[in-house]
Structure 1
Amino acid sequence: MASPLTSGTGLGSGLDISSIVKVLVNADTAAKSNQIARQTSNNSAMISGIGALRSALTAFQDAMKKLNDKDAPSFNAFVGSSANEGIIKIKSSNTAVAGSYDIKVEQLATASKVASKQFVGGATSSISAGEMTISQGGKTYKINVAAGATLQTVRDQINKEMSANGITANIVNEAGGSRLVFGSTTTGAGSDISVSGIPELAIDGTRQMSGSGAGYISAKAQDAKFSIDGLLLTSASNTVENAISGLSLELTGISPKDSGGNITSSTKVTVAADNDGLKKSVQSFVDAYNTLQKAVTSLTATSRDENDKLSLGPLTNDPTTRSLLADVRKVLSETGAGDKLTTLSQLGINTQKDGTLEFNTVKFNAAMNDKKLGPEIQELFTGTNGIFERMNKAVDPYNSAGGSLDTRKSNLDKVAKDLANQKAALERRTESLTESLTKKYVALDAALGKMKAQADQITSIFEALNAQAKKS
C-alpha cells in the first residue's frame, strides 16, 4: 500500500515529513539491512568460489582421464612405426622391446558372404513358414519365420535378431531375380555361414553358388597369412595381438607380388623408445596439476588494496578447501608400488613453495637414458594404486555428486534463500513503518495546522480589541 505522503513539506507545520520519516525508518532498519547485505555478499562469494573450485577439479580429473585413455595410452615407453600403413599398422604397449621387423602379408583374413538361390518375384517373394537355422563356426541360431513372410520381411527379421551376433542380411537384385545375401563381421577360416530349415533359403556356405543356386559368392572365409622375419603365421583376424610381444599389428593390405604371385618386398616395422612422448605426457600432468593449484590459490589468497585494506578470497580460511589441498598434496608425496620408480621426484618433479610442481627435464632425461626408468612410468601413473587412481580417490569425496562440495553448495543455496526471505521481510517492515510514521506525522501536521489557525484567530481577536481600545 502506498504511503499517503512520501515527500514534501507539511502544510500546517512546515516540517519536511518525508525526510523525518526516512531518518527514523533508517535508524530502525539500517543495522539489519547492512547485516543482510553483508551476509548475502559473503554467501554469494562462497557459492561462486565453490563453483569455481568444482570446475577446476573437474578439469583436472578430465585431464587425468585423457592421459589414462586405454585406447590411446599416454605413458607407453615405446612407439611403433610402419614403413607402409597401407599394408600394416602397429601399436606398441609398455611391454614392447626396441627393435625392427620385416613383415610380409600374403593374404588378409576375410568374412563369409553367402547368397540364397534366385527369387524371380523379388523382395515380395513368399517364404515358407518354419524354423530357420543359421550356422557359423560351430554356433547355431534359430529364427522362427511366420506364415505370410516375404523375402523382405525375413531380411528385416534376420537383421533385428542377428545383428548382435555380427550377422546381417540384405537383398541384392541381379539379372534374373533377387537373392538374400548374408554377411558377417566374423573373419577366419571355418566361419562360413550356412542356412537350413527353410527349403527355399537353404545355403551351404562351403560351396560356391552356381547359376541360380545358393552358396558362397566369391570365396570361403579365410585366415590371414603373413610372415615376420621369415617366420610364417596365420590369424583368424586382421588385428593380431602378441605375434610380437608388446605389439598389436593391424593387417590392412597385401604385400606387392609379381606376376607369379610371389611377394616382392616386405614392410619394415620399427619399435623405439619414446622418451619425447613420455616427457610430453608427464608435462601434461604437471600442467594440469599446476592449473588446479593456481585456481585454488586464487580462491584462497589474501591481498591489500591501495588503502592497505585486507581483501579475502571467497574460500580463504575455508576448512573444506584446506582439507582438499592436503589430500591432493599427500598423493604427490606418497611412495608408489613400482620396482625402481616409486616417486615423482625420480622423474624431476618436485613441489615448489607456491604449491605448484616444477618439472626438471634434465633430471627426467637422465632417468630415461641413464636409469632406464621409461617402462615403469606407466605403472607409476596409471597402474593399480597409481597416481591417477589415488588422486581420483582423493578428489572424488569432494567433487562427486553428493560429495562434500555438492552438499556445501546445497547448504549455501539454503542460506541464500533464507537471506532473500529476510530481505523481503525487512522491505515489508520498511514499507509498513514508513506508512505508519507518515500517517502520524501527517496527523501531527494537521493538528499543528489547526492549532496555528486557532492561534491566528485569537491573535486577530486581541488585535481587534487593542485597535478598538485605542480608538476609544
Structure 2
Amino acid sequence: MVGITGIGSGLDINGIVGALVGAEKAPKEAQLARLEKASTTKFSALGQLKGALGTFKTAMKSLNNAELFEKRTATSSNTSALTATASTSALGGTYKVDVDRLASSSKVATAALASDFSTSASGTLKIKLGAADAGTEVAIAADSSLVEIRDKLNTALKDKGITANVVNNPADGTSRLVLNAKDTGAGKDIFIETGDAALSALTVDGAVQVSGNAAGYLEQAADAEFSIDGLALKSSSNTVENAIPDVTMTLVGKTEENKPLTVTVGQDKVGVTSNIKKFVEAYNKLITTSNDLTSVVEVGEGKPPVVGGLVGDASVRALVGGMRNELVNPAEQGGVRVLADLGITTQQDGTLKIDDAKLSAVLKDNFDAVATFFTGDTGLMSRLDKRIDGYVQTGGVLEQRMDGLQSTLNDIDKQREALTRRVEQLQTRLFSQFNAMDALVGQLNQTSERLAQALGSLPGSVRKDS
C-alpha cells in the first residue's frame, strides 16, 4: 500500500515500513546469497573435475587397446615417389624400391576434323578397351555433330570407365574427339572401329601414336615398372598389393636413377607414442585442475586469498592419492615395470614429464613389454580406470554430489520465492497498521482542533493571539 502516507500523523510511514521490512528481509537474503555462492562454486568445481576425469578416461581407453600395439606401419623414405600401408599381419623388414615407370591409361584422339563436322549417314561405332575386347557398340544417327557423338559415347561408355570430350584447335579451326580410359595397364588401349563408311573418319588404332592430323594414341596404356631389392616387377595398377606380403604400396612418381627409396615395415611406434603423450597430457590436466581447485592463493597484503572450490575436499585427496599409488605400483613383468622405465617421471607439482629419447629407445628395444604394461586386465590403464570409475560413472560420487548441490540451488530459489511472499505480506500488514494509526491520529488532531475552537468561543475566555 505504497502511496501518500503520514498525512494524519506527519510520520514518514513509507520510510518506517521500508526499514522494518528491510530488517526482516536482509539477514535471510544474505544467508541465501552465501549458500548460493558456496553451492555454485562447488558445483562448478566438481564439473571441472569431472570434465578433466572424462578426458583422462578417454585417453586411457585409447591406450588400453591391444589393437594399437598390433598395428604395423609401412613408411617410405620418399613419399613423392611412393607411399605405403601395412596390415597387422605384415612382417617387419626394410626394402629398397626403385620406381622406373608409373602405370598409365590409354588416351586417344580421332583425326583432325572440321569444327562443323557431322555424319553423312547413321552407323555404329565399336569402342574397345584392348585389342581382344569384344567392345561396346554405340549407334550414331545421321547428321550428328562431334558434340552429339561425344554425348552418345559418354552415355554408352560410363560403365566401361571411358570418357569422351571434344578438343578444338583455334589455329586452324579443326576439332578432334578425345577418349580417356580410367583403367591402367598394358593391353588396355582404346580402339574405335566401324564398318560404316559414314563414320570412318572417327576410327582410331590405339596402338599407333598420333602424328600430325592423323588419329592415334596420345598416351598408351602401360604397366608400372619397379623393383624391390633389385628384383624387376610389373603391375597393371599404381596401387601394388602384396608385392611385399600384407603391404600396399602406391606408386606416385619415379625415383632417380640409382637412388632407390626405402620402405620400412614395423610396429606402429608413432601411433603408440602419440597415445602415450595424450595419456600424459590428460593426466597432467587432471592434476593441474585438482591442484587449482584445492589450493589457497595469497594475492597481496590486505586482500582476501583466492580459495579453490574444493579446498579440503576429502574426495579429491582420495582420488589423486589412489591414482598416484597406481603409478608407482610396479607391474609383475620384466622389461617395463613402472612409468620411469619408459622415461616418464613425476615432477614436484605432481604432473608427469616424458624423456622422449628414453621412450623412443624402449619402444624400439622392448615394444612387447610396453604393450603388456599398459594393456590388459592387470595393465596400468585398467588399474587406473578402476580407481576413477566410481567417481565418473553414472550415479557415481561426483554425479551424486552435483545432484545434491543442484537440489540445494533449486531449494534456494524456492526459499527466495517464499521470502518474497512473506515480505510482501509483512509490508501489507505494516502499511495497514501504520495507515490505521495515521488515520486515528488525524481524527484525534481534528477533534483537538474543534475542541480548542469551542473552548475559545466561551464567554470570558482569553484568546492567546489577542
Q: What TM-score bracket applies, with the shorter chain setting the length?
A: 0.5 to 0.7
The superposition leaves residues 317-368 of structure 1 with CA deviations (integer Å, 9 ceiling, x where unpaired) of 496x789869977986799899854653431435678653354678657746
Report the Cα offset of residue 289 of structure 1.
Answer: 2.0
Cα distance in 2, alignment partners of residues 435 and 76 from structure 1: 78
* Structure 2 counterpart of 1:12, from 8, 22, 36: 8
Cα distance in 2, alignment partners of residues 385 and 111 from structure 1: 55
Mapping for residues 231-310 of structure 1, pairs under 5 Å: 231-240=231-240, 243=243, 249-256=249-256, 264-269=257-262, 282-283=276-277, 285-299=279-293, 301=294, 303=296
Report the Cα offset of residue 17 of structure 1.
Answer: 2.1
1:223 aligns with 2:223: yes
Alignment partner, residue 259 of structure 1: none
Cα distance in 2, alignment partners of residues 133 and 155 from structure 1: 9
1:451 aligns with 2:449: no
**Cα 1:312/1:267, change in 2 over 3 Å:** closer
**Cα 1:242/1:67, change in 2 over 3 Å:** farther
Cα distance in 2, alignment partners of residues 215 and 402 from structure 1: 75
Cα distance in 2, alignment partners of residues 337 and 154 from structure 1: 73
* Structure 1 counterpart of 2:179, from 178, 181, 185: 181
Report the Cα offset of residue 291 of structure 1.
Answer: 1.7
Question: Secondary structure at 2:461's aligned position in 1?
Answer: helix
Mapping for residues 56-67 of structure 1, pairs under 5 Å: 56=52
Alignment partner, residue 346 of structure 1: 341
Of the structure 1 ranges 307-316 and 50-59, higher mean CA displacement relative to structure 2 is found in: 307-316
Unaligned runs of 5+ in 2: none
- Counterpart residue type for residue 181 of structure 1: L
1:441 aligns with 2:441: no
**Cα 1:385/1:193, change in 2 over 3 Å:** farther
Alignment partner, residue 44 of structure 2: 48
* Structure 2 counterpart of 1:468, from 431, 444, 461: 461
Cα distance in 1, alignment partners of residues 335 and 2 from structure 2: 83
- Counterpart residue type for residue 15 of structure 1: L
Mapping for residues 69-468 of structure 1, pairs under 5 Å: 82=77, 86-88=80-82, 102-113=96-107, 167=161, 169=163, 171-174=165-168, 176-177=174-175, 179=177, 181-184=179-182, 187-189=184-186, 217-220=218-221, 222-240=222-240, 243=243, 249-256=249-256, 264-269=257-262, 282-283=276-277, 285-299=279-293, 301=294, 303=296, 311=307, 313=309, 317=313, 340-341=335-336, 344-349=339-344, 355-359=350-354, 364=359, 367=362, 372-374=365-367, 377=370, 419-420=412-413, 423=416, 426-427=419-420, 430-431=423-424, 433-458=426-451, 468=461
2:455 touches 2:461 (CA, 8 Å); kept in 1?
A: no
Question: Secondary structure at 1:446's aligned position in 2?
Answer: helix
1:91 touches 1:248 (CA, 8 Å); kept in 2?
A: yes
Cα distance in 1, alignment partners of residues 398 and 326 from structure 2: 20
**Cα 1:392/1:466, change in 2 over 3 Å:** farther
1:33 aligns with 2:29: yes
Taking every aligned residue pair, what percent have the same amino acid on both sides?
A: 29
**Cα 1:205/1:86, change in 2 over 3 Å:** farther
Question: Secondary structure at 1:20's aligned position in 2?
Answer: helix
Unaligned runs of 5+ in 1: 257-263
2:84 touches 2:250 (CA, 8 Å); kept in 1?
A: yes
Report the Cα offset of residue 243 of structure 1.
Answer: 4.9
Question: Secondary structure at 2:103's aligned position in 1?
Answer: coil
Question: Secondary structure at 1:225's aligned position in 2?
Answer: strand
Of the structure 1 ranges 448-457 and 302-311, higher mean CA displacement relative to structure 2 is found in: 302-311
**Cα 1:429/1:219, change in 2 over 3 Å:** farther
The superposition leaves residues 12-63 of structure 1 with CA deviations (integer Å, 9 ceiling, x where unpaired) of 3343323432343245444553454344334433553355346545765787
- Counterpart residue type for residue 346 of structure 1: D
**Cα 1:350/1:441, change in 2 over 3 Å:** same
Cα distance in 2, alignment partners of residues 327 and 195 from structure 1: 77
2:167 touches 2:177 (CA, 8 Å); kept in 1?
A: yes
TM-score under structure 2 length normalisation: 0.61
1:124 touches 1:150 (CA, 8 Å); kept in 2?
A: no
Cα distance in 1, alignment partners of residues 439 and 397 from structure 2: 62
Question: Secondary structure at 1:44's aligned position in 2?
Answer: helix
Question: Secondary structure at 2:167's aligned position in 1?
Answer: strand
Cα distance in 2, alignment partners of residues 329 and 135 from structure 1: 68
- Counterpart residue type for residue 2 of structure 2: S
- Counterpart residue type for residue 230 of structure 2: G
Cα distance in 1, alignment partners of residues 386 and 205 from structure 2: 54
2:63 touches 2:381 (CA, 8 Å); kept in 1?
A: no
Cα distance in 2, alignment partners of residues 405 and 249 from structure 1: 50
Report the Cα offset of residue 109 of structure 1.
Answer: 2.4
- Counterpart residue type for residue 3 of structure 1: V
Report the Cα offset of residue 290 of structure 1.
Answer: 0.5
1:75 touches 1:281 (CA, 8 Å); kept in 2?
A: no
The superposition leaves residues 137-157 of structure 1 with CA deviations (integer Å, 9 ceiling, x where unpaired) of x999x9x99x99955766886
Report the Cα offset of residue 464 of structure 1.
Answer: 6.8
RMSD of aligned residue pairs (Cα, Å): 6.7
Cα distance in 2, alignment partners of residues 337 and 133 from structure 1: 70
Report the Cα offset of residue 219 of structure 1.
Answer: 1.0
- Counterpart residue type for residue 14 of structure 2: S
Structure with higher Rg: it is 2
Question: Secondary structure at 2:233's aligned position in 1?
Answer: strand
Question: Secondary structure at 1:448's aligned position in 2?
Answer: helix
Report the Cα offset of residue 227 of structure 1.
Answer: 1.8
**Cα 1:152/1:203, change in 2 over 3 Å:** closer
Question: Secondary structure at 1:15's aligned position in 2?
Answer: coil
Cα distance in 1, alignment partners of residues 117 and 395 from structure 2: 56
Cα distance in 2, alignment partners of residues 323 and 29 from structure 1: 41
Cα distance in 1, alignment partners of residues 190 and 331 from structure 2: 52
**Cα 1:373/1:153, change in 2 over 3 Å:** same
Cα distance in 2, alignment partners of residues 413 and 333 from structure 1: 37
The superposition leaves residues 423-471 of structure 1 with CA deviations (integer Å, 9 ceiling, x where unpaired) of 4564455445434533432332232222233234435655776972899
- Counterpart residue type for residue 281 of structure 2: D
- Counterpart residue type for residue 289 of structure 1: Y
